């Protein structure tokens, strides 16, 4: 027996509020999206974390971003014959059907999945899927700086989260139909990191390899 409002009650409240405000204001847009189909130009691959929803962070209208989310924003290596296929399917649809021009790998601060990877699964419960999933990103460990062990905890977390994003970019760039479009100049891949505690977005600059704050 529940006393007070349950999490589901609060979710239904949110839906009613959405229906009254956002949906009412954008009804025409939703009708057009139904009639003409979606044509988002951006795919965002984000962590599942409840604090970093892409549509919240980027304040996007309906129909503008195609989103795939998983624990720790991991893109597995190209392997159509085995291994996890969810991200490959989302990327394939976004690229071949929607013809997106940009893909953003969006990591974030205090990522529990990255923390589990760096600490060899510590902090995870007895699990069937979690540890094998985060270990898909194990090659990211090779991207950590040589002085990693001497860094403070906050810095360790940050460079680990950056390394997982960079590893996902490298893996995604190896998908043949991604590589073709990168070489043709019709697709770009970006690495972004969102620090929800400070509301700070940083992005990886391709030339310098530096992470620069978006002002
Ligand atoms: Zn995360």
123-150: pLDDT as tens digits: 888 889 999 999 999 999 999 999 999 9
Whether the per-residue pLDDT at 23 is higher than 70: the answer is yes
C-alpha of residue 79 to centroid of ligand 1, in Å: 23
3-state secondary structure 83-114: CCCHHHHHHHHHHHHCCCCEEEEEEECCCHHH
C-alpha of residue 113 to centroid of ligand 1, in Å: 5
Q: What is the mean pLDDT of residues 57-82?
A: 96
C-alpha of residue 72 to centroid of ligand 1, in Å: 4
Q: Looking at residue 122, what is its pLDDT?
A: 82
Q: What is the mean pLDDT of residues 31-43?
A: 98
C-alpha of residue 208 to centroid of ligand 1, in Å: 25
C-alpha of residue 20 to centroid of ligand 1, in Å: 31
Structure tokens at 147: 């002085």
Residue 191 and residue 165 in contact, taking contact as beta carbons nearer than 8 Å: yes
Whether the per-residue pLDDT at 116 is higher than 60: the answer is yes
Structure tokens at 4: 């007070």
C-alpha of residue 73 to centroid of ligand 1, in Å: 7
Residue 150 makes CB contacts below 8 A (sequence gap 6+) with none
Taking the C-alpha atoms of residue 140 and residue 144, their distance in angstroms, rounded to an integer, is 7
Least confident of 3-7, 101-105, 147-151, 164-168: 3-7
Instruction: With cut-offs at 50, 70 and 90, classify the pLDDT of residue 186.
Output: very high
Q: What residues have their beta carbon closer than 5 A to ion ligand 1? A: 47, 49, 111, 113
Q: Of 100, 118, 115, give the one whose Cα is nearest residue 190.
A: 100
For the chain, the straight-line distance linking the first and the last C-alpha, in angstroms and rounded, comes to: 48
Q: What is the mean pLDDT of residues 53-79?
A: 97
C-alpha of residue 111 to centroid of ligand 1, in Å: 4
What is the residue-averaged pLDDT of the chain? 96
Q: Looking at residue 2, what is its pLDDT?
A: 58
Distances (CA, A) of 171 to 38, 88, 125, 133, 207: 27, 11, 28, 15, 19
Q: Looking at residue 13, what is its pLDDT?
A: 96
Whether the per-residue pLDDT at 83 is higher than 80: the answer is yes
Q: Looking at residue 69, what is its pLDDT?
A: 98
Whether the per-residue pLDDT at 212 is higher than 70: the answer is yes
Whether the per-residue pLDDT at 1 is higher than 60: the answer is no
Q: Is 182 exposed, middle or buried (0-12, 13-18, 19+ CB in 10 A)?
A: middle
Q: Where are the domains of the chain?
A: 1-37, 38-213
C-alpha of residue 95 to centroid of ligand 1, in Å: 24
C-alpha of residue 197 to centroid of ligand 1, in Å: 13
**CATH H-level, domain 38-213: superfamily:** Carbonic anhydrase (3.40.1050.10)
Whether the per-residue pLDDT at 181 is higher than 60: the answer is yes
């Amino acid at each position: 027996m529940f006393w007070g409002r349950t999490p589901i009650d609060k979710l239904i409240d949110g839906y009613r509020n959405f229906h009254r405000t956002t949906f009412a204001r954008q009804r025409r847009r939703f009708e057009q999206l139904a009639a003409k189909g979606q044509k988002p130009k951006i795919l965002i691959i984000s962590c599942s974390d409840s604090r970093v929803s892409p549509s919240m962070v980027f304040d996007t209208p309906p129909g503008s971003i195609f989103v795939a989310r998983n624990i720790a924003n991991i893109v597995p290596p190209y392997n159509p014959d085995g291994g996890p296929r969810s991200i490959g399917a989302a990327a394939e649809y976004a690229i071949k059907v929607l013809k997106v021009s940009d893909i953003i790998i969006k990591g974030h601060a205090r990522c529990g999945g990255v923390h589990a990877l760096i600490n060899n699964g510590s902090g995870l419960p007895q699990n069937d899927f979690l540890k094998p999933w985060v270990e898909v990103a194990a090659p990211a460990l090779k991207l950590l700086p040589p002085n990693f062990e001497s860094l403070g905890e906050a810095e360790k977390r940050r460079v680990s989260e950056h390394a997982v994003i960079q590893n996902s970019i490298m893996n995604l760039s190896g998908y043949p139909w991604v590589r073709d479009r990168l070489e043709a100049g019709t697709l770009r891949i970006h690495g972004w990191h969102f620090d929800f505690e400070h509301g700070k977005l940083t992005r990886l600059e391709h030339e310098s390899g530096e992470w620069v704050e978006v002002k």
